[in-house]
Homo-oligomer: A and B are copies of this chain.
Amino acid sequence: MKQDNITKAHARIQQFIHRTPVLSSQLINQKVEADLYFKCENFQKMGAFKMRGATNAILKLTEEQRSKGVVTHSSGNFAQALSLAAKSLGVKAHIVMPENAPQVKKNAVLQYNGSITECESTTKARQETANRIQDSTGATFIHPSNDMDVIIGNGTACKELLEDYNDLDYIVCPIGGGGLIAGTALAAHYFGKQCQVIGAEPMVVDDAYRSIMSGKIETNSSTNTIADGLKTQLGDINFPIIQKHIKQIIRVEESEIISAMILVFERLKIVIEPSSAVALAAVIKQKEHFKNKKIGVLFSGGNVDLSRLPF
């Protein structure tokens, strides 16, 4: 039973994660004419919700599996999350990264003792390299978003939000690989009172929107968005959950993402990454739809390259 799974996952990971605060802004509420509750996973350990799923996935392994390490391919937050979660639990983490990944992302993994293996920047090369590491070390592969333990771990953010505010009408959540929104949808289903989860996606990488429409996993022909955490596509484990629970996905323009990001920096005085701003941008865009409602907004993370802020 999933409710129980999320509750158990929460108890399992609790000592390794932060219970992140929920912030509000009178001024933003006035602007959108609704009550917004921002779940601040930018304050999570290593700066993103991915710490939850990574920790849960490692803790679900047997002693023997853990002794052989874990492996993933990611150039983003999951690479850091798996490295830090593994370090906290005394497990070896192998991270496959494209050779052209920015040095700042490699450094972020290295500071958490992740062991980097570089490969060509193609999906095929990433998967093959991860497979090779699995074969040679016996490490367990943990996918950044298409893994049930990762999904359930991610769902604990929504569980906490609903513990703090149990009468939310909506929760708006960014969609990238689908691991956060799938976990959020499950948690809202089990812990909310008819709380509906709505997806938020950049227009230029609207693969989830199109996937819901077509009934099969779609891909993006271009990934030219500032929301670098949302470029990836859905997977066969999270897609059925999303199909079942998510009735609406709001797509936003790049300029709307940047405006929302500025609003958060200026008014909430917190640092979020563009992927987080996508959720607020969606609420602002569909203001009429949300009028006078109570809305949870999931800020997925705060790992942004300060030298490349869009303002």
Contact = CB atoms under 8 A, between A and B. Distances in A.
16 contacts: A42-B269, A43-B269, A47-B269, A262-B306, A265-B271, A265-B306, A266-B306, A269-B270, A269-B272, A269-B302, A270-B270, A270-B271, A271-B271, A306-B309, A306-B311, A307-B311
Interface string A188-218: 0000000000000000000000000000000
Contacts of A306: 262, 265-266, 309, 311
User: Copy number of this protein in the oligomer?
Assistant: 2
A69 to B, nearest CB: 24
A268 B215 CA distance: 41
A80 to B, nearest CB: 13
A21 B18 CA distance: 15
Contact of A269 (B262, B266, B271, B307): B271
Interface of A: 21, 42-43, 47, 262, 265-266, 269-272, 302, 306-307, 309, 311
A258 to B, nearest CB: 11
A199 to B, nearest CB: 24
4 pairs of A and B residues whose beta carbons are closest in the complex:
A269-B302, A269-B271, A42-B269, A306-B311
Nearest to A47: B269
Please indicate which of the listed interface residues A21, A42, A302 has the most CB atoms of chain B within 10 Å of its own CB.
A302
Nearest to A301: B269
A192 to B, nearest CB: 27
A217 to B, nearest CB: 33
Contacts of A272: 269
